[in-house]
Amino acid sequence: MKLILRFILLFPLILVNGVSRAQLDFSDYFTGERFRYDFVLAGNFEELRVYPLSQKREPHWAGSKKSLVDTMGYGTYRYRVMDDSTGKVIFSRGFCTLAQEWQTTAEAKRSEKAFYQALFFPFPKQKVRLSVDSRNWQGEFVPVFETVVDPADYFIIRDKPEEYEVFTVLGNGLPDTHVDLVFLAEGYTAGEKEKFVMDAARMCENIMNVSPFRENRDKFNIHAVWTPSQEGGTDIPGENIYRNTRFNSTFYTFDVARYLTTSDMRTIYDAVSGVPWDHLLVLVNSERYGGGGFYNFLTVCTAGHALTPKVLVHELGHAFAGLGDEYYDSEVAYENYYNLAVEPWEPNLTTLVDFASKWKHLVPDSIPVPTPRTPEYLKVTGVFEGGGYLSKGIFSPMQNCRMKSNGPEEFCSACKRAILAAIEWHTR
């Protein structure tokens, strides 16, 4: 679930140069380690503010050493890293968070809340400037926060990461030329290690059985990190069920029964501080239906429901490829989801403001635009009204897709195209 922020205020406000798309030499600017910048987003319906927490040096940069400056343009946030001496952008990423979704709920109108966040990039060799941008209601990225990172700063934490047992579920090569997915155990007790490893292996196959992951299996590394909990399961507040688990996951996020997330990102990031990863998946030991996914942030899913394979792939579509929800008739907690005068950033949604930038080239000339939701066009790529939680004003590529419901086994052609682009970005 992902939405566009109407307004966000972070301090201090400093304008910076635009993103350069030129090819960079990784070794000119970075070491092979990972830099982590921890902060808190806190505020209400009208504004969120950033409160820096800490900086940390971690052992492994797992990302591509060629795909450094983002060219996708996805996410409701973006962060950029600039060489301090020249102002040249040497790294950037788009992302989403739970905070942005909460800001659009009714609760945010009557109370304030704080969310832990962290940003990651290769550890710099020289001073850099870190800029955070947010996407405003008009769909434009606006620079709203900046700080200087000095790699020689002795306040950068350099402690030894806590060691956890790591199992290789799928191994195909070096981290920087493969997509590195990492499953973490949530709600598995000390005696359930074997169950977790088996569940993770099953989840791996659930992902790799779906196109276009299936055709690109050799481009993935998948690992499972054993992080046992004191109690099994997860919190279900609506039924007065509470469990002491490692990552404090919970159903009833924003009071939606099926929405399973966690706000305890600091514990998650600490658990993988010594592990190479591109995308994190929290596997929850529960037979209940539910999950959640956030672009370049996190995927959460239960392990034991009959629909888990489809939920997992759907949520990974959000987290890995920036795909938007195509449904428009299910319960959500949000208000004012999209500005219909602006083209959504998600690659599988359009308001027709700039459809040429989306999947227009995949629509045959014989297909009308917009495309009626009639049996005649059930299996074709078109432009069908309904998507992004709205029945009017937003359009999606097919009448049904893995990003719309639990019916289809596969993604539509537009979603496949976006996933393939994400795979290529990570592995080149």
Within a 13 Å sphere around the CA of 114, how many CA atoms are in the beta-carbon half?
A: 8
Q: Is residue 327 part of a domain?
A: no
What would the mean pLDDT of 104-124 be, rounded to a whole number?
94
CATH code at position 114: 2.60.40.3250
Give me the chain's average pLDDT, please: 92
Is the per-residue pLDDT at 377 higher than 60?
yes
> Are 272 and 166 within 8 A, CB to CB?
no
Q: Mention every residue, 6+ apart, whose C-beta is less than 8 A from residue 275.
A: 60, 164, 166, 182, 223, 225
Q: Which token pair is 80?
A: 């950029």
DSSP 251: S
Together in a domain, 210 and 290: yes
Q: With bands split at pLDDT 50, 70 and 90, how would you rate the model's confidence at 332? A: low
Q: With bands split at pLDDT 50, 70 and 90, how would you rate the model's confidence at 22? A: low
Tens digits of residue pLDDT in 137-160:
899 998 889 999 999 999 999 999
Is the per-residue pLDDT at 366 higher than 50?
yes
**What does the pLDDT read at residue 45?**
85
Together in a domain, 103 and 202: no
Q: Which token pair is 128?
A: 């850099």
Together in a domain, 189 and 129: no
Report the C-alpha gap between 329 and 211 in whole angstroms. Answer: 26
Together in a domain, 170 and 309: yes
Q: Is residue 66 part of a domain?
A: yes
**Three-state secondary-structure class, residue 114:** strand
Residue 128: C-alpha distances to residues 8, 117, 420 (Å): 24, 20, 31
Q: Is residue 171 part of a domain?
A: yes
Phi-psi group of 255: left, alpha or beta (phi > 0 → left; psi -120 to 50 → alpha; rest → beta): left
Is the per-residue pLDDT at 12 higher than 50?
no
Q: Is residue 404 part of a domain?
A: yes
Whether the ω angle into residue 12 lies within 30 degrees of 0, i.e. cis, is yes
pTM of the model: 0.92
Together in a domain, 169 and 288: yes
Is the per-residue pLDDT at 305 higher than 70?
yes
**Could you count the other beta carbons within 10 Å of the beta carbon of residue 342?**
17
**What does the pLDDT read at residue 14?**
35
**Three-state secondary-structure class, residue 257:** coil
Tens digits of residue pLDDT in 230-283:
999 999 999 999 999 999 999 999 999 999 999 999 999 999 999 999 999 999
Residue with more model confidence, 7 or 242:
242
Together in a domain, 137 and 235: no
Together in a domain, 181 and 207: yes
What would the mean pLDDT of 77-96 be, rounded to a whole number?
97
Together in a domain, 58 and 179: no
Together in a domain, 179 and 298: yes
**Three-state secondary-structure class, residue 417:** helix
What is the total count of domains within the chain? Answer: 3
Domain containing 136 equals 26-149
Residue with more model confidence, 105 or 420:
420
Q: Is residue 201 part of a domain?
A: yes
Q: Is residue 379 part of a domain?
A: yes
CATH code at position 267: 3.40.390.10
Share of the chain above pLDDT 70, in %: 93
Tens digits of residue pLDDT in 171-184:
999 999 999 999 99
Q: With bands split at pLDDT 50, 70 and 90, how would you rate the model's confidence at 4? A: very low
Q: Which token pair is 161?
A: 């990461």
